[in-house]
Amino acid sequence: MKKNDIGILTWHYYYNFGSALQTYASESVISRIGNCEIINYRNPELYSISPLSEFAHYIISVTVGKIINRFYYPYMEFQRKHFNQTKLLKSKSEVVEYTKKYRTIVCGSDQIWAPSVLNDIYLLDGVDSHKVNKVSYAASFGINSIPDDLKGVYKKALSDYSHISVREEKGKELLSNIFNINSTVVLDPTLLLDSKTYEKLIKPCKIKKGYVFCYFLSENDSYYDRLKQYEEDKVLVGYAASKGKFDVTLNNIGPGEFLWLIKNADTIITDSYHGMIFSLIFHKDFYVYERFSSKDVNNQNSRIETLMALLSLYDRIVPFDAMSIQTASDINYRNVDIILEENRKKSLLFLREAIK
């Protein structure tokens, strides 16, 4: 590899549609700036690596991957097909040593800086900033406060970044108020690509059109109760993690099928940040549930609030304690696209200036 190559450090392996697609978007956009690859490190807080699982992954991916992945491991198939990854790095010391190959490392997007699962390698702790340009793109703390016992960890690691950008206004406030660090709020990387790009990734589902796609990450009993206005005239299609008596419940699907379900739904009801984003990208009618009470110390609503405020679509948020979905006025997607395009240019400019 050449010294001017770029490494991307993010949650690329997490079996979540948003994580997979933000990784795809990050690599797609950054590859236009320079040669890049995904640093294949996996946070042990979220992914357990054992010799047996590593061997199974090797057998599945290399020996019979094209057949088995397609039908049983859709995420693995998506990663194999679309991600340019390094070899598997198992420890912080391996990552630090490997980063010497790069001129720039980009951390993000996703909640890689979340205190609840913090691994300081995602802060690039131990990486020499004199030899490697440290950048964050749309990194997220996820919550609205930093525990006192971790403030020193963040301060030490983030003080030598050349450029820092975050995904939420709350993240910008935390960096400024606690650490006296200036940062830029940018768009999630998924919003840097257009619908035509994502259409190339789509895999059809055998679902008849005229349905409401219910994509929930939390098992909340109240979610289904709010959907009763759709029961009579629409087929309710739910994802496996969703809780409720849906007409169709889907299990083993990957990012390609997820995109198909968003694109072809009449309405999307979700508590997912990326469920909301892809509804916007495909110009869909949607409502997004608040997953957390405003009083919850682990409240992660800020990412939804930041984007909906930017687009003046606050009426598309269903409050945490709401008993039903209040129908909102039609979305003016012409205005939405204008705002997103302006912010897309700013976000891309940040990346180009940050990556040396």
- Total Cβ atoms within 10 A of residue 56: 11
Number of structural domains in the chain: 2
Q: What is the pLDDT of residue 20?
A: 95
27 within a domain of the structure (yes/no): yes
Q: Confirm whether 143 is domain-assigned.
A: yes
Query: What pLDDT shows up at residue 68?
Result: 46
Does residue 307 fall inside a structural domain?
yes
| Domain CATH number, residue 250 | 3.40.50
Q: Provide the domain limits for residue 114.
A: 6-193+343-354
**Do 91 and 188 fall within a single domain?**
yes
Query: Does residue 67 form part of some domain?
Result: yes
Residue labelled with tokens 């933000």: 22
Q: Is 304 helix (H, G, I), strand (E, B) or coil?
A: helix
With helix as H, strand as E and coil as C, how does 133-196 read?
EEEEEEECCCCCCCCHHHHHHHHHHHCCCCEEEECCHHHHHHHHHHHCCCCEECCCHHHHCCHH
- Distance, in Å, from the CA atom of 240 to the CA atom of 242, rounded to the nearest integer, reads 5
Residues 310 and 182 both lie in one domain: no
Structural Rg of the chain based on CA atoms? 20
Report pLDDT for 251. Answer: 80
Same domain, 187 and 224: no
Neighbouring C-beta atoms of residue 318, cutoff 10 Å: 21
On whether residue 1 sits in a domain, the answer given is: no
pLDDT at 74: 79
Dihedral over alpha carbons 67, 68, 74, 79 (to 10 degrees)? -80
189 with 209, same domain? no
Determine, yes or no, domain membership for 181.
yes
> Percentage of the chain with pLDDT > 70?
87
Q: Is residue 230 classed as helix, strand or coil in its secondary structure?
A: helix
Same domain for 181 and 34, yes or no, is yes
Looking at the fold, whether 10 and 149 belong to one and the same domain comes out as yes
Cβ neighbours for 152, distance < 8 A, ≥ 6 positions apart: none
Q: Do 119 and 11 belong to one domain? A: yes
Tens digit of pLDDT per residue, the chain (356 long)? Answer: 454 599 999 999 878 899 999 999 999 999 999 999 999 998 776 665 555 655 565 555 555 544 444 444 778 888 889 999 999 998 999 999 999 999 999 998 999 999 988 999 999 999 999 999 999 999 999 878 899 999 999 999 999 999 999 999 999 999 999 999 999 999 999 999 999 999 999 999 989 889 999 999 887 778 888 888 887 788 899 886 655 678 898 888 899 999 999 999 999 999 999 999 999 999 999 999 988 666 666 656 788 989 999 999 999 999 988 888 988 999 999 999 999 999 999 999 999 999 97
